[in-house]
């Protein structure tokens, strides 16, 4: 069983590496959003899109076991979305995302958002070619969730503590939740957000903007390096 798992992950990582290379070549910033069911992931995604769609092109991949409900909600914001139904599967994989990229053909220097299947276990092990995993924890869940599902929070670079507008009505210790997350991953960047009230969204959107700028700069450097290489080859040929 160990060998089978290694083979599956190795094959997936090959697809993921190809996806990431394609994103980098096109200056695209790709994020993989993961959470438990009911964390408010789709609502938060819609709010994020509404606040960014006039500034950057956005494409979305929606992962669910069944239905196209979430993809329809995303399309209602005015951006393109592709639904992937995994059936009995509990996560998206690199091969699925690669096919989604081919179908969506996201614009250069755009934002590519992947909403994974609602699950904090399986998606932790599968690289999709994203630049960052973003774990979403809502205040309607337990403060100890990062300790219960450490692999996911260790794999994530960002945690969004969602639905903070409900904190006055709940017995949820936000500081403890963040402390537990940092026990698992000391480098985790955390934003407290609410898709309903808009609280904390500016910090989250600023982080995305910085990622977009970094990808555009990387692409520019790659293109400049390629131009220099072509010029050098032409010079060498002319000298012969």
The domain 2-239: what is its CATH number?
Answer: 3.40.50.300
Please give the helix or strand (H or E) that residue 58 lies within, else none: strand 58-64
The tokens of 71 are what?
């993809």
CA 147 – CA 65 distance, rounded (Å): 26
Kindly write down the DSSP assignment for every residue of 149-187, as one continuous string: SHHHHHH-SEEEEE-GGGGGGS---HHHHHHHHHHH-TT
Which residues on adjacent β-strands are paired with residue 31? 113, 132
pLDDT digit string (tens) for the chain, length 240 residues: 455 556 778 899 999 999 999 999 999 999 999 999 999 999 999 999 999 999 999 999 999 888 889 999 999 999 999 999 998 888 999 999 999 999 999 999 999 999 999 999 999 999 999 999 999 999 999 999 999 999 999 999 999 999 999 999 999 999 999 999 999 999 999 999 999 999 999 999 999 999 999 999 988 877 666 667 666 677 777 776
Instruction: Note the pTM of the prediction, 2 decimals.
Output: 0.89
Q: Are strands 158-162 and 189-192 parallel, antiparallel or unpaired?
A: parallel
Q: Domain limits of the chain?
A: 2-239
**Are the CB atoms for 70 and 114 separated by under 8 Å?**
no
């Amino acid at each position: 069983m160990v060998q089978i798992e290694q083979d599956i992950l190795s094959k997936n990582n090959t697809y993921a590496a190809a996806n990431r290379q394609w994103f980098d070549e096109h200056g695209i910033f790709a994020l993989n959003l993961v959470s438990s069911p009911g964390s408010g992931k789709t609502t938060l995604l819609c709010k994020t899109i509404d606040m960014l769609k006039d500034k950057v092109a956005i494409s979305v991949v929606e992962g669910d076991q069944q239905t196209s409900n979430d993809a329809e909600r995303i399309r209602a914001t005015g951006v393109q979305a592709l639904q992937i139904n995994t059936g009995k599967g509990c996560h998206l994989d690199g091969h699925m995302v690669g096919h989604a990229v081919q179908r969506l053909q996201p614009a250069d220097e755009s934002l590519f958002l992947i909403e994974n299947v609602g699950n904090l276990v399986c998606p932790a092990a599968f690289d999709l070619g994203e630049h960052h995993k973003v774990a979403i924890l809502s205040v309607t869940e337990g403060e100890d969730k990062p300790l219960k599902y450490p692999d996911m929070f260790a794999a994530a670079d960002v945690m969004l503590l969602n639905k903070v507008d409900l904190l006055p009505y709940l017995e949820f210790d936000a500081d403890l939740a963040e402390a537990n997350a940092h026990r698992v991953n000391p480098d985790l960047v955390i934003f407290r957000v609410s898709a309903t009230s808009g609280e904390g969204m500016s910090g989250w959107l600023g982080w995305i903007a910085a990622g977009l700028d970094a990808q555009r700069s990387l692409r520019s450097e790659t293109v400049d390096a390629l131009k220099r290489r072509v010029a050098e080859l032409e010079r060498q040929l002319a000298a012969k």
